[in-house]
Amino acid sequence: MFIILLLSFLAFATVHSQENQFISGVLLDSETLEPISFASIRVKNRAVGVISNNDGSFRVPLKFRELNDTLHVSSMGYDSREIVISSLRPKDINQLYLNPMLVQLEEVTLSASKKSRRDRNAGNDKDKPVTAEDIIAKAIEKIPLNYPFNPQSYVGYYRDYQWKSGGYTNLNEAIVEVFDKGFGTLDYEESNTRIYEYSRNTNFPIDSLSERLYDYGEYKTKTIPRAYLNSYGGNEFVILRIMDAIRNYNTFSYSYVDHLDTDFVKNHDFTIEDDTSLDGVSLYVIDIYKHNRRIMVRGKIYISKDNFEIVKLEYATYDALLGTRKISKTSKRIEDRLIYRTVVEYKKEGHKMFPSYISFSNKFEVKVPRFLR
Protein backbone atom coordinates (compact mmCIF):
# COMPACT_ATOMS: atom_id res chain seq x y z
CA MET A 1 0.00 0.00 0.00
CA PHE A 2 1.28 3.45 -0.78
CA ILE A 3 0.04 7.03 -0.86
CA ILE A 4 0.14 9.32 -3.85
CA LEU A 5 -0.94 12.92 -4.24
CA LEU A 6 -3.24 13.75 -7.14
CA LEU A 7 -3.61 17.33 -8.31
CA SER A 8 -6.14 18.37 -10.90
CA PHE A 9 -5.72 21.92 -12.07
CA LEU A 10 -7.72 24.21 -14.33
CA ALA A 11 -6.85 27.76 -15.30
CA PHE A 12 -9.75 29.47 -17.04
CA ALA A 13 -8.08 31.60 -19.67
CA THR A 14 -8.35 31.50 -23.44
CA VAL A 15 -5.52 29.42 -24.86
CA HIS A 16 -5.23 28.36 -28.48
CA SER A 17 -2.28 25.99 -28.57
CA GLN A 18 0.32 24.28 -26.45
CA GLU A 19 3.87 25.46 -26.99
CA ASN A 20 7.02 23.38 -26.72
CA GLN A 21 9.12 26.33 -25.60
CA PHE A 22 8.43 28.20 -22.40
CA ILE A 23 9.79 30.86 -20.12
CA SER A 24 9.88 29.54 -16.55
CA GLY A 25 9.56 31.51 -13.35
CA VAL A 26 8.75 31.33 -9.67
CA LEU A 27 6.78 33.85 -7.59
CA LEU A 28 8.11 34.71 -4.14
CA ASP A 29 7.08 36.92 -1.24
CA SER A 30 9.58 39.79 -1.22
CA GLU A 31 9.79 39.76 2.60
CA THR A 32 9.60 36.09 3.61
CA LEU A 33 10.86 34.59 0.32
CA GLU A 34 8.04 32.03 0.61
CA PRO A 35 6.51 30.83 -2.70
CA ILE A 36 3.20 32.41 -3.71
CA SER A 37 0.80 29.77 -4.96
CA PHE A 38 -2.35 30.28 -7.05
CA ALA A 39 -1.33 33.74 -8.23
CA SER A 40 -2.89 34.95 -11.48
CA ILE A 41 -0.35 35.49 -14.28
CA ARG A 42 -1.92 36.97 -17.39
CA VAL A 43 -0.58 38.38 -20.63
CA LYS A 44 -1.76 41.99 -20.64
CA ASN A 45 -4.40 42.87 -23.26
CA ARG A 46 -4.69 39.21 -24.29
CA ALA A 47 -7.13 36.56 -23.05
CA VAL A 48 -4.27 34.26 -22.08
CA GLY A 49 -3.03 33.31 -18.65
CA VAL A 50 -1.94 30.72 -16.12
CA ILE A 51 -1.72 30.49 -12.35
CA SER A 52 1.29 29.62 -10.22
CA ASN A 53 1.61 26.12 -8.79
CA ASN A 54 1.85 25.17 -5.11
CA ASP A 55 5.57 25.93 -5.17
CA GLY A 56 5.05 29.30 -6.89
CA SER A 57 6.33 28.05 -10.25
CA PHE A 58 4.77 28.90 -13.61
CA ARG A 59 5.47 28.81 -17.35
CA VAL A 60 4.42 31.06 -20.23
CA PRO A 61 4.99 30.36 -23.93
CA LEU A 62 8.18 31.86 -25.33
CA LYS A 63 6.30 33.44 -28.24
CA PHE A 64 4.96 36.19 -25.97
CA ARG A 65 8.51 37.30 -25.26
CA GLU A 66 9.10 37.70 -28.97
CA LEU A 67 5.89 39.76 -29.22
CA ASN A 68 7.23 42.06 -26.46
CA ASP A 69 4.13 41.48 -24.34
CA THR A 70 3.71 42.29 -20.65
CA LEU A 71 2.70 40.01 -17.78
CA HIS A 72 0.20 41.20 -15.18
CA VAL A 73 0.74 39.33 -11.91
CA SER A 74 -1.77 39.52 -9.04
CA SER A 75 -2.52 37.60 -5.87
CA MET A 76 -4.64 38.07 -2.75
CA GLY A 77 -2.85 40.21 -0.18
CA TYR A 78 -0.11 41.43 -2.55
CA ASP A 79 0.42 44.51 -4.69
CA SER A 80 -0.08 43.68 -8.36
CA ARG A 81 2.92 43.91 -10.65
CA GLU A 82 3.54 44.20 -14.38
CA ILE A 83 6.63 42.66 -15.98
CA VAL A 84 7.83 43.07 -19.56
CA ILE A 85 8.32 39.52 -20.79
CA SER A 86 11.41 40.44 -22.83
CA SER A 87 13.19 41.15 -19.54
CA LEU A 88 12.86 37.47 -18.52
CA ARG A 89 15.63 34.99 -19.33
CA PRO A 90 14.46 32.07 -21.50
CA LYS A 91 16.97 29.50 -20.19
CA ASP A 92 16.71 30.30 -16.47
CA ILE A 93 14.08 30.04 -13.75
CA ASN A 94 13.23 33.71 -13.24
CA GLN A 95 12.57 34.71 -9.63
CA LEU A 96 9.81 37.31 -9.42
CA TYR A 97 8.84 39.04 -6.17
CA LEU A 98 5.52 40.48 -5.01
CA ASN A 99 5.29 42.98 -2.16
CA PRO A 100 2.77 42.25 0.62
CA MET A 101 -0.06 44.75 0.56
CA LEU A 102 -0.11 47.30 3.36
CA VAL A 103 -3.49 47.12 5.07
CA GLN A 104 -4.87 50.46 6.21
CA LEU A 105 -7.59 50.01 8.79
CA GLU A 106 -10.42 52.51 8.98
CA GLU A 107 -10.67 54.52 12.17
CA VAL A 108 -13.50 53.34 14.42
CA THR A 109 -15.07 55.54 17.11
CA LEU A 110 -17.10 53.92 19.88
CA SER A 111 -19.66 55.91 21.88
CA ALA A 112 -22.31 55.07 24.44
CA SER A 113 -25.92 55.18 23.43
CA LYS A 114 -29.21 54.86 25.30
CA LYS A 115 -31.21 54.15 22.17
CA SER A 116 -33.52 51.20 22.33
CA ARG A 117 -32.84 48.01 20.40
CA ARG A 118 -35.57 49.03 17.95
CA ASP A 119 -33.84 52.39 17.36
CA ARG A 120 -30.45 50.77 16.90
CA ASN A 121 -31.87 48.45 14.26
CA ALA A 122 -33.72 51.18 12.43
CA GLY A 123 -32.75 52.53 9.06
CA ASN A 124 -30.16 51.10 6.66
CA ASP A 125 -27.94 49.71 9.45
CA LYS A 126 -30.23 46.73 9.84
CA ASP A 127 -29.06 45.47 6.42
CA LYS A 128 -25.38 45.95 7.16
CA PRO A 129 -23.67 42.63 8.01
CA VAL A 130 -21.73 42.80 11.26
CA THR A 131 -20.52 39.21 11.77
CA ALA A 132 -18.65 36.74 9.59
CA GLU A 133 -21.82 34.66 9.30
CA ASP A 134 -23.77 37.74 8.18
CA ILE A 135 -21.20 38.56 5.49
CA ILE A 136 -21.19 35.02 4.11
CA ALA A 137 -24.98 34.78 4.19
CA LYS A 138 -25.22 38.09 2.31
CA ALA A 139 -22.74 36.85 -0.32
CA ILE A 140 -24.68 33.62 -0.85
CA GLU A 141 -27.95 35.55 -1.06
CA LYS A 142 -26.50 37.73 -3.83
CA ILE A 143 -25.14 34.88 -5.98
CA PRO A 144 -28.09 35.22 -8.43
CA LEU A 145 -27.12 38.89 -8.95
CA ASN A 146 -23.35 38.49 -9.09
CA TYR A 147 -22.88 35.38 -11.24
CA PRO A 148 -24.07 34.46 -14.75
CA PHE A 149 -27.40 32.65 -14.90
CA ASN A 150 -27.45 32.91 -18.69
CA PRO A 151 -25.60 30.41 -20.95
CA GLN A 152 -21.91 31.07 -21.49
CA SER A 153 -18.76 29.28 -22.68
CA TYR A 154 -15.08 29.62 -21.92
CA VAL A 155 -11.85 28.00 -23.03
CA GLY A 156 -9.21 26.85 -20.57
CA TYR A 157 -6.03 24.89 -19.99
CA TYR A 158 -6.45 21.68 -18.01
CA ARG A 159 -3.80 19.57 -16.32
CA ASP A 160 -3.88 16.63 -13.94
CA TYR A 161 -0.97 14.74 -12.45
CA GLN A 162 0.08 12.59 -9.52
CA TRP A 163 2.96 12.98 -7.10
CA LYS A 164 4.69 9.82 -5.96
CA SER A 165 7.97 9.37 -4.09
CA GLY A 166 8.98 12.98 -4.69
CA GLY A 167 8.28 13.05 -8.43
CA TYR A 168 5.50 13.63 -10.97
CA THR A 169 3.70 10.72 -12.65
CA ASN A 170 0.78 10.34 -15.07
CA LEU A 171 0.78 13.97 -16.23
CA ASN A 172 -1.99 14.81 -18.72
CA GLU A 173 -2.79 18.14 -20.35
CA ALA A 174 -5.60 19.42 -22.53
CA ILE A 175 -7.27 22.49 -24.00
CA VAL A 176 -10.98 22.37 -23.18
CA GLU A 177 -14.06 24.48 -23.78
CA VAL A 178 -16.89 24.46 -21.26
CA PHE A 179 -20.47 25.15 -22.35
CA ASP A 180 -22.26 26.22 -19.18
CA LYS A 181 -26.01 26.80 -19.37
CA GLY A 182 -25.88 29.10 -16.36
CA PHE A 183 -25.86 29.01 -12.56
CA GLY A 184 -29.55 28.12 -12.50
CA THR A 185 -28.88 24.71 -14.05
CA LEU A 186 -27.26 21.54 -12.67
CA ASP A 187 -23.64 21.76 -13.74
CA TYR A 188 -22.90 18.03 -13.70
CA GLU A 189 -26.01 17.08 -15.67
CA GLU A 190 -26.36 19.95 -18.15
CA SER A 191 -22.94 21.51 -18.81
CA ASN A 192 -20.95 20.16 -21.77
CA THR A 193 -17.22 20.05 -22.47
CA ARG A 194 -15.31 19.90 -25.74
CA ILE A 195 -11.67 18.79 -25.78
CA TYR A 196 -9.60 20.51 -28.48
CA GLU A 197 -6.21 19.07 -27.57
CA TYR A 198 -5.29 16.24 -25.26
CA SER A 199 -1.83 14.86 -24.66
CA ARG A 200 -0.04 12.63 -22.19
CA ASN A 201 3.28 14.14 -21.23
CA THR A 202 5.66 11.24 -21.81
CA ASN A 203 8.51 13.15 -20.18
CA PHE A 204 7.08 11.89 -16.87
CA PRO A 205 6.74 8.27 -15.64
CA ILE A 206 3.51 6.32 -16.15
CA ASP A 207 2.02 4.34 -13.24
CA SER A 208 -0.89 2.29 -14.55
CA LEU A 209 -1.83 0.99 -11.08
CA SER A 210 -2.56 4.46 -9.70
CA GLU A 211 -4.53 5.37 -12.83
CA ARG A 212 -7.34 3.06 -11.78
CA LEU A 213 -10.77 4.42 -10.91
CA TYR A 214 -11.65 5.07 -7.28
CA ASP A 215 -12.96 1.79 -5.86
CA TYR A 216 -14.72 1.57 -2.48
CA GLY A 217 -16.06 -1.92 -3.10
CA GLU A 218 -14.96 -5.22 -1.63
CA TYR A 219 -11.26 -4.83 -2.37
CA LYS A 220 -10.97 -1.05 -2.00
CA THR A 221 -8.16 -0.93 -4.55
CA LYS A 222 -8.14 2.88 -4.71
CA THR A 223 -9.60 5.01 -1.92
CA ILE A 224 -9.16 8.30 -0.10
CA PRO A 225 -8.54 7.70 3.63
CA ARG A 226 -11.46 9.02 5.69
CA ALA A 227 -13.21 10.39 2.59
CA TYR A 228 -15.27 9.26 -0.39
CA LEU A 229 -14.94 10.47 -3.97
CA ASN A 230 -17.14 9.36 -6.84
CA SER A 231 -14.95 8.37 -9.79
CA TYR A 232 -17.46 9.77 -12.32
CA GLY A 233 -16.28 7.13 -14.77
CA GLY A 234 -12.66 8.21 -14.44
CA ASN A 235 -13.35 11.73 -15.70
CA GLU A 236 -10.96 13.91 -13.71
CA PHE A 237 -12.32 17.06 -15.32
CA VAL A 238 -15.83 16.30 -14.05
CA ILE A 239 -14.42 15.73 -10.56
CA LEU A 240 -12.74 19.12 -10.79
CA ARG A 241 -15.95 20.86 -11.83
CA ILE A 242 -17.88 19.34 -8.91
CA MET A 243 -15.35 20.91 -6.54
CA ASP A 244 -16.51 24.41 -7.50
CA ALA A 245 -18.88 25.00 -4.57
CA ILE A 246 -19.70 28.51 -5.82
CA ARG A 247 -20.98 27.28 -9.19
CA ASN A 248 -22.78 24.41 -7.44
CA TYR A 249 -24.00 26.55 -4.56
CA ASN A 250 -27.47 24.98 -4.38
CA THR A 251 -26.45 21.34 -4.87
CA PHE A 252 -24.08 19.02 -2.98
CA SER A 253 -20.44 19.74 -3.77
CA TYR A 254 -18.23 18.13 -1.09
CA SER A 255 -18.11 17.62 2.68
CA TYR A 256 -18.45 19.68 4.77
CA VAL A 257 -19.47 22.51 2.51
CA ASP A 258 -22.32 20.25 1.38
CA HIS A 259 -24.96 22.66 -0.02
CA LEU A 260 -23.28 26.06 0.11
CA ASP A 261 -26.57 27.91 0.38
CA THR A 262 -28.06 25.89 3.26
CA ASP A 263 -25.22 24.03 5.03
CA PHE A 264 -22.00 26.04 4.80
CA VAL A 265 -22.69 28.54 7.59
CA LYS A 266 -24.15 26.04 10.05
CA ASN A 267 -21.34 23.49 9.46
CA HIS A 268 -18.39 25.78 10.32
CA ASP A 269 -16.98 28.37 12.68
CA PHE A 270 -15.85 31.68 11.20
CA THR A 271 -13.51 34.52 12.19
CA ILE A 272 -13.14 37.87 10.42
CA GLU A 273 -9.49 38.66 9.64
CA ASP A 274 -7.85 41.86 8.38
CA ASP A 275 -9.19 43.09 5.04
CA THR A 276 -7.14 42.60 1.90
CA SER A 277 -7.51 43.60 -1.76
CA LEU A 278 -7.05 42.26 -5.27
CA ASP A 279 -6.47 44.63 -8.18
CA GLY A 280 -7.87 47.53 -6.19
CA VAL A 281 -10.98 45.71 -4.95
CA SER A 282 -11.31 45.70 -1.15
CA LEU A 283 -12.13 42.27 0.27
CA TYR A 284 -13.38 40.77 3.50
CA VAL A 285 -11.16 37.87 4.61
CA ILE A 286 -12.94 35.24 6.70
CA ASP A 287 -11.22 32.23 8.28
CA ILE A 288 -13.08 28.89 8.05
CA TYR A 289 -12.68 26.27 10.76
CA LYS A 290 -14.29 22.97 11.76
CA HIS A 291 -13.17 20.22 14.13
CA ASN A 292 -15.19 17.09 14.94
CA ARG A 293 -12.40 15.07 16.62
CA ARG A 294 -11.75 12.94 13.52
CA ILE A 295 -11.62 15.64 10.84
CA MET A 296 -10.37 19.23 10.86
CA VAL A 297 -11.18 21.83 8.21
CA ARG A 298 -9.18 24.97 7.52
CA GLY A 299 -9.85 27.54 4.84
CA LYS A 300 -10.56 31.12 3.88
CA ILE A 301 -13.25 32.87 1.90
CA TYR A 302 -12.69 36.24 0.23
CA ILE A 303 -15.73 38.46 -0.37
CA SER A 304 -15.85 41.89 -2.00
CA LYS A 305 -16.90 44.65 0.38
CA ASP A 306 -18.85 46.57 -2.28
CA ASN A 307 -21.09 43.94 -3.89
CA PHE A 308 -20.53 40.87 -1.71
CA GLU A 309 -19.12 38.80 -4.57
CA ILE A 310 -17.31 35.63 -3.49
CA VAL A 311 -13.94 36.12 -5.16
CA LYS A 312 -12.06 33.12 -3.76
CA LEU A 313 -12.73 30.05 -1.64
CA GLU A 314 -9.91 27.97 -0.13
CA TYR A 315 -10.95 24.77 1.64
CA ALA A 316 -8.83 21.92 3.03
CA THR A 317 -9.71 18.87 5.13
CA TYR A 318 -7.23 17.10 7.41
CA ASP A 319 -7.10 13.85 9.34
CA ALA A 320 -7.29 15.05 12.94
CA LEU A 321 -6.44 11.67 14.50
CA LEU A 322 -3.69 10.01 12.49
CA GLY A 323 -2.35 7.31 14.80
CA THR A 324 -2.13 8.71 18.32
CA ARG A 325 -0.98 12.23 17.52
CA LYS A 326 -3.71 14.84 17.69
CA ILE A 327 -3.67 17.82 15.38
CA SER A 328 -4.24 21.41 16.46
CA LYS A 329 -5.44 24.43 14.51
CA THR A 330 -1.90 25.84 14.37
CA SER A 331 0.07 22.61 13.96
CA LYS A 332 3.22 23.01 11.87
CA ARG A 333 2.78 19.46 10.54
CA ILE A 334 -0.75 20.05 9.38
CA GLU A 335 0.09 19.34 5.72
CA ASP A 336 1.15 15.81 6.67
CA ARG A 337 -2.51 15.17 7.51
CA LEU A 338 -4.04 16.59 4.31
CA ILE A 339 -6.96 14.58 2.90
CA TYR A 340 -8.04 16.97 0.16
CA ARG A 341 -7.81 20.64 -0.78
CA THR A 342 -9.77 22.72 -3.26
CA VAL A 343 -9.23 26.33 -4.33
CA VAL A 344 -11.52 28.26 -6.66
CA GLU A 345 -11.25 31.88 -7.76
CA TYR A 346 -13.57 34.10 -9.79
CA LYS A 347 -12.86 37.36 -11.61
CA LYS A 348 -15.24 40.10 -12.65
CA GLU A 349 -15.92 40.65 -16.35
CA GLY A 350 -18.42 43.42 -16.95
CA HIS A 351 -21.06 43.08 -14.24
CA LYS A 352 -20.70 39.36 -13.53
CA MET A 353 -18.17 37.03 -11.90
CA PHE A 354 -16.65 34.33 -14.12
CA PRO A 355 -14.33 31.39 -13.28
CA SER A 356 -10.63 32.20 -13.15
CA TYR A 357 -9.36 28.80 -12.02
CA ILE A 358 -10.14 25.68 -10.02
CA SER A 359 -7.60 23.46 -8.30
CA PHE A 360 -8.29 20.19 -6.49
CA SER A 361 -5.80 17.85 -4.81
CA ASN A 362 -6.16 14.79 -2.62
CA LYS A 363 -4.18 11.92 -1.17
CA PHE A 364 -5.26 8.39 -2.01
CA GLU A 365 -4.21 4.83 -1.27
CA VAL A 366 -3.70 2.13 -3.90
CA LYS A 367 -3.40 -1.59 -3.21
CA VAL A 368 -3.41 -4.79 -5.26
CA PRO A 369 -6.46 -6.96 -4.48
CA ARG A 370 -5.81 -10.47 -3.18
CA PHE A 371 -7.43 -13.15 -5.28
CA LEU A 372 -8.01 -16.76 -4.22
CA ARG A 373 -6.26 -19.36 -6.38
Taking only the tens place, the pLDDT of each residue in 309-349 is: 999 999 999 988 755 455 666 555 677 888 999 999 999 98
Report pLDDT digits (tens) over 73-94.
Answer: 999 889 999 999 889 988 889 9
Per-residue pLDDT at 373 exceeds 90: no
| 359: enclosing H helix or E strand | strand 352-366
Cβ proximity of 283 and 297 under 8 Å: no
Question: Minimum mean pLDDT among 230-234, 248-252, 272-276: which range?
Answer: 230-234
Share of the chain above pLDDT 70, in %: 83
Per-residue pLDDT at 185 exceeds 90: yes
Is residue 64 very low, low, confident or very high in pLDDT (cuts 50, 70, 90)?
confident
Is residue 5 very low, low, confident or very high in pLDDT (cuts 50, 70, 90)?
very low
Is residue 51 very low, low, confident or very high in pLDDT (cuts 50, 70, 90)?
confident
Predicted local confidence at residue 370, as pLDDT: 61
Is residue 103 very low, low, confident or very high in pLDDT (cuts 50, 70, 90)?
low
Instruction: Using DSSP bridges, classify how beta strands 192-200 and 167-180 pair: parallel, antiparallel or unpaired.
Output: antiparallel
Per-residue pLDDT at 238 exceeds 80: yes
Please give the DSSP secondary-structure letter assigned to residue 139: H
Whether residue 256 is preceded by a cis peptide bond, meaning omega within 30 degrees of 0, is yes
Report pLDDT digits (tens) over 135-178.
Answer: 999 999 999 999 999 999 888 888 888 888 777 788 888 888 89
Please give the DSSP secondary-structure letter assigned to residue 319: E
Length of the chain: 373
Per-residue pLDDT at 60 exceeds 90: no
Per-residue pLDDT at 16 exceeds 70: no
Cα first-last separation, the chain:
21
